[in-house]
Amino acid sequence: MQVIENLKVKEKVYIEKLNNGLTVMIIPKEGIKKKYIIWGTHYGSNDSKFIVPGENEVTEVPKGVAHFLEHKMFEQENGRNSLDVLSSLGVNANAFTTNTHTAYLYEATDNFYEALDEFMDYVQHPYFTDENVEKEKGIIGQEIMMYDDYPEWKVYLNALEAMYHNHPVKLDITGTIETISHIDKDILYKCYNTFYNPSNMCLVVCGDFEPKEILKEIENRLIEKKPEGEIKRIYENEDESIVKPRVESKMEVSIPLFTIGIKCIPPKQKEKVKTHIAIEILLNMIAGESSKLYQDLYKSGVILNMPSFEYEFTDDYAYILVSGASRNPDEFLEKFNQEIENYIKNGINEEDFERTKKMIYGEYVKEYNNVSDIARMFLNDFMKGVNSFDYIEEISTIDIEYAKQVLIDNFTTEKQVFSVVKSN
């Protein structure tokens, strides 16, 4: 078992790659009552075109299958719903689908191992019939319509659609009512058998565990499966340019919502963590709570609270999002871009830079206080091909020169989009 220790946060992660290809990560937290487990497969809404290991033909499935599959996994052949079984044991269970992965999880104070029986059973035993698939279409269809009515979702999705020509990241994770109408049990089984192979999965546990003991408990509940070869994922060629610089929608909102999107070039493997940290520092310096821009716009009533920041990256796409509510979104955009120009032209203030860096380091350290934050972080970073400890280690290596280069490379107005949702 590989052990990686980080002395700065006084944490260890134990990593074991089992014979079936499953990666297990164990982060012990002695004396903590809560236990958290998350089991993820590297399969998300982006993966609708692929070549199954051992096959030559391309398989293309309707958009929304990964999310549909996540919904269906809880229903068992014995008529029980695993989510209900887990809830009856007093554990807090859930699941989610992203663009890149699907995850099943629960948090427990008591009955952890009883819940583990059910948890590892349902993830390994799908049960799809014509009838239960058809029934689910109605449930997911309602969910799709509900999201269509959310202004926050609309402003976000519009930004992605304005950035990306062909890449499926621009599409709704749930699919559409039209695309899910083509899903049947055979499609679900094919995607399950392709992507839910242990060699395409990672299981993370965090809590008061002895690593070898919990590893044995996990191994005892695994059904025998052989590791598969690499799944070839196929995406359309994506131009570096944006689709359009601005998109505006009208919905019922009391104050206009906005999202600034910046289409970036995906960072190289060695630069993933450093680029991410530098972008976090820059965004907080430009428009974070202690920034001059935020203070001025808050006092004048242009913005009501601090905007949220997101930097998302994979091997084949990356983007920055700045989202918020503003009485005058265009003024915020103008001032935001002026601040970027100012940083490029006049340089980055060293005092502000160091203060922001310390603040972000503090946020990273705080994430290690909570078992759910730790486990989700390690799974999410694993799916991106990085180790979570790297953020703690790399932040000290980032200086002003590096940050300025990241600013010049990524914060370009030619690749910027502006999505706004205003009142009807």
Catalytic residue annotation? 70
In sequence order, what are the beta bridge partners of 92? 107
Is residue 207 classed as helix, strand or coil in its secondary structure? Answer: strand
CA gap 271, 405 in Å, rounded: 12
Residue 54, judged by CB atoms within 10 A of its CB (0-12, 13-18, 19+), counts as exposed
Q: Could you give the angle at the alpha carbon of 288 between the alpha carbons of 162 and 257, nearest 5°?
A: 40
CA 263 to chain CA centroid, nearest Å:
17
Q: Which residues contact 60 (CB under 8 A, 6 or more apart)?
A: 48, 49
Structure tokens at 155: 């402003």
Please tell me the distance from the alpha carbon of residue 183 to that of residue 265, in angstroms, as a whole number.
33
Residue 240 contacts residue 62 (beta carbons within 8 Å):
no
Question: How far apart, in whole angstroms, are the C-alpha atoms of residue 205 and residue 13?
Answer: 10
Contacting residues for 380 by C-beta, under 8 A, at least 6 apart = 101
